[in-house]
Amino acid sequence: MTKVLVLYYSSYGHIEQMADAVAEGARSAGAEVDIRRVPETAPAEVVKSAGFKADTAHEVIGNVNDLANYDAIVVGGPTRFGRMPSQLASFLDQAGGLWMKGSLNGKVGAAFTSTASQHGGQETTLFSIITNLLHFGMTIVGLDYGFQGQMGVDEVKGGSPYGATTIADGDGSRQPSAVELDGARYQGKRVAETAAKLSA
């Protein structure tokens, strides 16, 4: 059975919801899926004063070497000034040993994100994650146009050919829409299907 890791960082729960949807999609394609979050690196007083969401159903990943146990890794995080958050970067920066050994070469990678606005750096954030995954030697799966929900301007919606996205609004009040969650499910399914073909 194909093993997929959904690895994420979420401050306010938007990315956590997207991670659950990505996992649903991967499971629908027959994959075994683990959802893990990266460790929080912000000081406790910042976490408290900013109102970060502390309660979650997902465990913190044990070790960067755990990444080698999966056929596919889908990485999600909110944007921080148009790039991935430091919590994700800090974790991925520890993967030099895996890179040296080529432990992730040929595995499947994908990215998803959340921003405050439609022009808040969604695509640059996705690319900051994808760049890491390409350096790990991974084969990237985006949100292809088989998912037609990302098209049109009938409503505010995330989605990009580079990965599933959601838009949270400046105060975080907007939650992922049905269309955005469907995009995450679609991408998760495509990741699992691609990983199954590549590992066959």
Give the annotated binding-site residues for FMN.
10-15, 79-81, 135
Backbone φ and ψ of 193, nearest 5°:
-65, -40
Burial class of 101 by CB neighbour count within 10 A (0 to 12, 13 to 18, 19+): exposed
Q: Whole-angstrom Cα distance, residue 57 to residue 135?
A: 30
C-alpha R_g of the chain: 16
Residue list for the binding site: 10-15, 79-81, 99, 135
Q: Is the distance from CB of 8 to CB of 170 less than 8 angstroms? A: no
Strands (E), 52-176: 59-60, 72-78, 108-115, 139-140, 164-167
Maximal CA-CA distance, the chain: 49
Q: Would you say 184 and 6 are in contact if contact means Cβ atoms under 8 Å apart?
A: no
The answer to whether the beta carbons of residues 172 and 10 sit under 8 Å apart is: no
CA atoms within 13 A on the CB side of 147: 28
Specify binding-site residues for NAD(+): 12
